[in-house]
Chains A and B, each alone.
Chain A
Amino acid sequence: MITHRFAVLLALGLPFTALTPQPWYALAVIVAAAVLLALLDAGLAGPLTGLRLRRDGDRTVWLGATAQVRLTVANTGPRTVRLHLRDSWVPSAGAGPLSHTAVLSEGGEHTLTTTLTPTRHGDRPAVRVTLRSAGPLGLAYRQRRRTWNERHTPAWTLRVLPRFPSRRVLPEKLARLRVVDGSVVTRGRGHGTEFDALREYVIGDDVRSIDWRASARAHDVVVRTWRPERDRRVVCVLDTGRTSAVLIGDAPRLDASIDAALLLSVLATRADDRVDLLALDATVRTRIEGGGHRTRLPRLIDGMASLHPQLAETDFTVLGQEMLRRDRKRALLVIFTALDTAPMIAGLLPLLPRLTARHKVIVAAVRDPLVSRLAELPANAGPADVHRAAAAQRVLAERDRVRDVLAHSGATVVDADADTFAGRVADVYLLLKASGRL
């Protein structure tokens, strides 16, 4: 195949056809010479079959961060290869630069770095490396078909972990957890109901926690310390149905739910509780249960990375089948969903009394700040603003009613704006943990 230089070569012949007395001969000679040169050039270009590709680099990256994947090209062929290469990824991987150029001498190697700034979480695969070997004159090149290039592309998938903006409140929540845990000396003993250990009395301890029997044995005043219950079960249920596709700000509601679920999972794992994950819409999308304490958190994050909103109605009966099994132990069930009237009344509400009878249920829904803002009249309000405020108030009133009905059925409802949502869910968990109600 020819390059632009071939056209330039032909253009160099323009004065000859215009000025010589035999223009037809001149034309024939110019075209023949250019075609011969191009054929020679294509013949001298290094063969593509001798190229070997391999990749290394980042496998996972947080959304918003930048990853680097290196592509190494080795030339095992008999001739030098002037290589033009394009490393194609899916558009949402944000790969750059678009194409690379390298000259590979016989037996040489070259490493090209592709920088990826993904725009969505989930798996971002590398699709195809297209190779083109140019001739020494740059008049022509060799390039194989797309299927050949796809066959010779080394597979690579970058797992993009979901955005975790509530990471910034994590230290504060962990500090509160440590207070609850009793591992920080604050006002005396740790909260909780489980007996932890005996230690010497220091001034400031609650005198009610002095263990008199032990004091008699030890000839010193000894107090009991307590700690919160451990090994409680927390089940994060992520609703990936159609209501999770609604944009809150500029991200879908599911992203806010994943953020809050991540914060809760990190906290609960630190507090030595077991965290399970269940993502469902019409069917179960992801289920992460069991496994060792160490590996649990990475697996949870990994599981959440592949979740995407589906345009399907969520079937909460699946949740019922899961959670009402006879061998299920009591757990804290955190359902991340939306407080829309119809799906709640038709889906979750009939199930809720049976769920609350066996488990502690939190229904967490992120609120759209736009509704609250529209419910207030702006400074120079017009009739359109008043009608909009009325419509917004109607939505808020409906949501309040749903919240009341859910609370009446025994669930704790967390309904907060996106920026405070994860923190509020974590607070409810810490409160339950501190009061030993898990």
Chain B
Amino acid sequence: MRRWLRAAIPFAALTTLITGTLIVHAIEQPDDDDPAYLTPQQTDGISGGTLAARLRERGITVDRVTSTGQALDTIGDDPTTVFVATPDLADLPRLRGLPAGSHLVAVDPSASALLRSGWPAEVDRTHWSTTVTDPGCGDEIATGAGPAAVRKTEYAVTRGALCYHGALATFPVDGHTVTVVGSPDPFRDDRITEHGNAALAVGLLSRHDRVIWIDVHDRDRPSPTPTAAYSPTPAPRTPTPAATDSYQPWQTGPAEPGDRSGPPGGGNGDGEGDGGPGDGDQQSGGLPDDPLVRNLPPALVTTLILLALILLALAVAAARRLGTPVAEPLPSKVPANETMLGHARLYQRARARGPSLQILRAHARRRLTTHLALPPHADSEQIATHAGLPVRYVRDILDGDTPTSNADLVEAAVLLQRLVRDVTTPPPAEGEQS
């Protein structure tokens, strides 16, 4: 159990840390469907009230609309700036019919929103958080604003211009100009005052006298009928009744698969056509789309398959044993003298030099008194007298002071052992002495 815990705790801690970070990050991100998100009506945190006020200061009319259809109704024929704060919720395909010379500014559109819109742009890479970066381009507004906190999503475009390392993309679409900004930070009330954010946001939206601010926080897309979505002339300014409707559950399901079903179909057909004889299963298993597999010579594929079969056969042949191993209970065996050695280590750890030497002295005294036939409690004088040794020598060894260092202890113990040996070993016979 303890070993299991030891392995599990670091992983659990790591998982908790990662999950916690992800959750905190998700909470910190503003939501598109939050009514306060980039709305011109409030001046609070993630709202856009400050931006709207600054635009009005410069004499620009800010018209707030709450649906794409309403925007198309109110736009008129003059070039206008359309600000799409939530492109993922707005009905972008319908906005292709803007008056010529208009500007459309979309804030942080996702890859699916770009795909749906039909704009010549796609998401290149996405960062964990927004960072400040230099414009790095010749666009007037960008160079006028200087460094700004826009680099979160980077875009790649097939035509048009890129600023801020791809975080600000400008490209023409059907006679009007679309600008996608990679982060909502320059427009938010709490961030607009930082760096060149304000200059950039105001600059992007002040190209015309009027700004249509599409403030959508519910799904504003029609039921996706694939033909309608990609029709080249999407009937501008004639809103379908469904466009202004609010969310309808049965409409949501097939939106994205429907969009994607077109182009890959051709590739599928090619793959099956190339397949050799006898490999129908291999080719229809999902691989044929991969041009690498399609272009491999069949001899190589069959050789690899045969090699795999050989390895499988070897594994199967080795798997069946001629009898499983036999188990039996092991006998109980207890290591000897664990307590004694534990005591010894304890003495050493506690630096119990006095008690250790005391035990050795008591043992030496017992052996000497037994050997010299003295009573067990005979003192050092008696022992010295009977052993024929100087009294002081014996007393120093048997009744000496408590040793203060390890060297003293070792010396005392060695002397003690030598005394016992000298007394208890019989003196050599006279013949041997010569």
The residue that B328 contacts in the complex, of A22, A90, A375, A385, with Cβ under 8 A, is: A90
A394 within 8 A of B: yes
A86 CB, min distance to chain B CBs, angstroms: 4
Q: How far is the CA of A376 from the CA of B363 in the complex (A)?
A: 11
A-B pair count, CB < 8 Å, reads 181
**B353 CB contacts on chain A under 8 angstroms:** 383
Are A17's CB and B306's CB within 8 A? yes
Interface size class of B (residues with CB under 8 A): 35 or more
Q: Residue A173 at the B interface, CB < 8 A?
A: no
| B215-223, B341-349, B380-388 - interface stretch | B341-349
A86 surroundings in chain B (CB, below 8 A): 322-323
Mask, B273-295, CB within 8 Å of A = 1, is: 00011110000000000000000
- Would B340 and A391 count as touching, CB distance under 8 A? yes
Q: Which of A22, A247, A252, A391 contacts B341 (CB 8 A)?
A: A391
B330-346 to A contact mask, C-beta < 8 Å, 1/0: 01111111001101110
From A92, A146, A386, contact of B356 by CB (8 A): A386
Query: A245–B299 contact, CB under 8 A?
Result: no
Q: A90-B328, A247-B335, A390-B356 are in contact. Are A376 and B317 (CB under 8 A)?
A: no
Question: Is the beta-carbon distance between B357 and A390 smaller than 8 angstroms?
Answer: yes
Would you call B332 and A311 a contact (CB within 8 A)? yes
A33 on the B face (CB < 8 A): no
- Does A184 belong to the interface (CB within 8 Å)? no
**Interface flag for B373 (CB, 8 Å):** no
Please report the C-alpha to C-alpha distance between residue A27 and residue B353 in the assembled complex, in whole angstroms. Answer: 83
- Asked if A24 contacts B276 (CB within 8 A), the reply is yes
- Cβ-neighbour of B326 out of A2, A90, A246, A375 (below 8 A): A90
B302 touches A3 (CB 8 A): no
B302 near A23 with CB under 8 A, answer yes
Point out the residues of chain A lying under 8 angstroms from B409, CB to CB: 383, 386
Are A308 and B322 within 8 A (Cβ)? no
Interface string of B298-334 (1 = CB under 8 A from A): 1111110111011101101110101110101001111
A296 within 8 A of B: no
Most A-side CB within 10 Å, residue of B302, B343, B410: B302
CB-defined interface of B75-91 with A at 8 Å, one 1/0 digit per residue?
00000000000000000
* Given A13-B306, A242-B334, A127:B326 Cβ within 8 A: yes
Contacts of A149 in B (CB 8 A): 323
Chain A residues in 8 Å Cβ range of B331: 120, 245, 252, 308-309
Contacting pair A24 B317 (CB below 8 A): no
Q: Which residue of B lies closest to A34 (CB)?
A: B313
Q: Which of A374-396 contact B (CB under 8 A)?
A: 374-377, 381-396
B389 cross-chain contacts in A, Cβ below 8 A: none
Kindly identify which residue among B279, B323, B356 contacts A24, using a CB–CB cutoff of 8 Å.
B279
Q: Which residues of A contact B311 (CB under 8 A)?
A: 7
Quick one: closest A residue to B311, CB to CB?
Answer: A7
How many angstroms between the C-alpha atoms of A361 and B336 in the bound complex? 27
Residue B414 interfacial (CB < 8 Å): yes
Closest B residue to A85 using CB positions: B322
Q: Is B359 an interface residue (CB 8 A)?
A: yes
In the complex, whether B255 has a CB less than 8 A from a CB of chain A is: no
Mask: chain A, 77-92; 1 = CB below 8 Å from B; 0 = not: 0000000111011111
Q: Which residue of A lies closest to B300 (CB)?
A: A18
Do the beta carbons of A4 and B314 come within 8 Å of each other? yes
Q: A24-B279, A387-B344 are in contact. Are A128 and B313 (CB under 8 A)?
A: no
A143-B322, A387-B352 given; 10 more Cβ-contact pairs under 8 Å: A18-B302, A20-B299, A24-B278, A245-B333, A375-B363, A377-B413, A377-B414, A382-B406, A389-B413, A395-B337
**Residue contacts A-B, CB under 8 angstroms, 25 given:** A1-B320, A3-B317, A4-B318, A7-B310, A11-B310, A14-B306, A17-B306, A24-B277, A26-B302, A86-B323, A246-B335, A247-B335, A309-B332, A368-B337, A381-B414, A386-B409, A387-B356, A389-B413, A390-B344, A390-B359, A390-B360, A394-B359, A395-B337, A396-B363, A397-B366
| The 8 residue pairs across chains A and B that have the minimum distance between CB atoms | A130-B323, A390-B356, A23-B302, A391-B344, A383-B406, A7-B313, A24-B278, A388-B344
Seen from chain B, the residues whose Cβ lies within 8 Å of a Cβ on chain A are 276-279, 298-303, 305-307, 309-311, 313-314, 316-318, 320, 322-324, 326, 328, 331-337, 340-341, 343-345, 347-348, 352-353, 355-357, 359-360, 362-363, 366, 406, 409-410, 413-414, 417
